[in-house]
Structure 1
């Protein structure tokens, strides 16, 4: 086995104290509010997450409906659909194509249908899924988004939570915003995915996936909204800081995703679908359903380098 490399883990000896109302807005400053003629929008919180009706995702998606879907995702950051029965892998690919091309996670088993990964899990007491993260941030061009379908769900438990990292940035102090402006951070898959590999496997993957750097604060590629872009499993250090400075600052930043006011929680049912903006949010798969089973099908949407 490879020698485990542990990413900096946040400590809780510095409480994230905040008194009074937080700033919680759906869109970038000055952005127009969405207007929908086809989709029916049912918000789950005032600023993140909405269930959408008025569309059957097993039928061809016309361009006017696709335009509204793109607008809804930009506004709500994660959107949900219920009762999408008879949803096929081809339907899954067609839905993801509203935003772009599928991107294969290099660590998932090879999918039977190109781009569609089946994730079957019997939850364990300790798992690697229940940690706040942004998909593929260890890649030079992180995934733009993901489309996740529930195939089989436990009778209770197995929810997923998403956190709005634009809201997380908005509520940082002016002093902290100034401190992190212009900083970059290293993202690496070895502390997480590599911890269960042999040294030879790590070396083979490392040739294709070296550590990458992304800004600590990115501008969303479509909305331009400033978004905090560090996460617990993949962000290993901030460039140019000492070890002590890194631990103190990275601890404070990654913990922002844990603040409930920034979050939306979704209770899965079979044939439910979630689509999320992977630059705008982080997510957390709740591992509380042992010994039940949870089967999902996922497509990641290819992105571009972020800045």
Structure 2
């Protein structure tokens, strides 16, 4: 733990890093209870430093899950994914024998939005006996590991992001072209920098992902595809990663501005049932 993190953490709070660069387990806290200003500041600092923080044995209600996340910002409603009945801000993510996991690509959440999310708070409701881990990759380290030649090539570049995957799902579920066009109007393709400067830390990180990035604007398509493939591949480098093994009532809170994640879908036909709340972020710069 850095000196800054130690100084910020209240005495009862324990921060145990999973790797030297990304991921830390936080103990000594009950997320069902309101937080003091000092505790909230310590958690925010831990999130900024470790990009994803984890909590164990948090048997909280849906209302407490929402209340915890709201302390970090306004919550979004996902327009395409299923939500928990009565709770539009809570994504219900369930996979079982009839629904294989499909979040097994490296991505940052909802980058197809003009203002993508600050962070996501994911709670494990039911998990397989083995498998179903989530991997997280540090996009600061990924950027810093690039060659000077690649850094120069992407300096100032912007990429187009789109909800293409969800558009295909809408068609497969029988949505009309008029309904799809309405979504196109509500959520136009977003243009974001290929290298994002984090609004709180000031650090640079790769901000393109396989799930939602389409191409680099103003670049020959073949060159764009080749460059994006190289940038996407950085997330898969183990030295930039941590891996979290879920247990019931575990919670992960990750900074979508600084890391990407990959939900390993190796547990079929077992059940993996999660609930996610997402905090609205700002427009990437």
Q: 2:184 aligns with which of 203, 206, 209?
A: 206
Tell me the distance in 1 between the aligned counterparts of 2:97 and 2:35: 35
- Deviations 1:12-70, CA, capped at 9 Å, x for gaps: xxxxxxxxxxxxxx99xxx9555222420111111100100111111121111111110
Q: How does 1:57-206 map to 2 (within 5 A)?
A: 57-85=31-59, 87-111=60-84, 112-122=86-96, 127-190=101-164, 192-198=165-171, 200=177, 201-206=179-184
User: CA distance change for structure 1 residues 39 and 131 in 2, over 3 Å: closer, same or farther?
Assistant: same
Tell me the distance in 2 between the aligned counterparts of 1:182 and 1:252: 17
User: Any conservation in 2 of the 1:180–1:216 contact (CA below 8 Å)?
Assistant: yes
User: Any conservation in 2 of the 1:52–1:79 contact (CA below 8 Å)?
Assistant: yes
- How many residue pairs were aligned? 277
User: CA distance change for structure 1 residues 84 and 125 in 2, over 3 Å: closer, same or farther?
Assistant: closer
What is residue 294 of structure 1 aligned with on the other side? 272
Is 1:44 aligned to residue 18 of structure 2? yes
Tell me the distance in 1 between the aligned counterparts of 2:63 and 2:99: 35
Quick check: which one's helix share is greater?
2
1:125 Cα deviation after fit = 8.9
User: CA distance change for structure 1 residues 49 and 124 in 2, over 3 Å: closer, same or farther?
Assistant: farther
What is residue 12 of structure 1 aligned with on the other side? none
Structure 2: which 5+ residue stretches go unaligned?
none
What is residue 222 of structure 1 aligned with on the other side? 200
User: Any conservation in 2 of the 1:123–1:287 contact (CA below 8 Å)?
Assistant: no
- The TM-score normalised by the length of structure 1 is 0.86
User: Any conservation in 2 of the 1:124–1:287 contact (CA below 8 Å)?
Assistant: no
Tell me the distance in 2 between the aligned counterparts of 1:247 and 1:217: 16
Structure 1: which 5+ residue stretches go unaligned?
1-25
User: CA distance change for structure 1 residues 216 and 236 in 2, over 3 Å: closer, same or farther?
Assistant: same
- The TM-score normalised by the length of structure 2 is 0.93
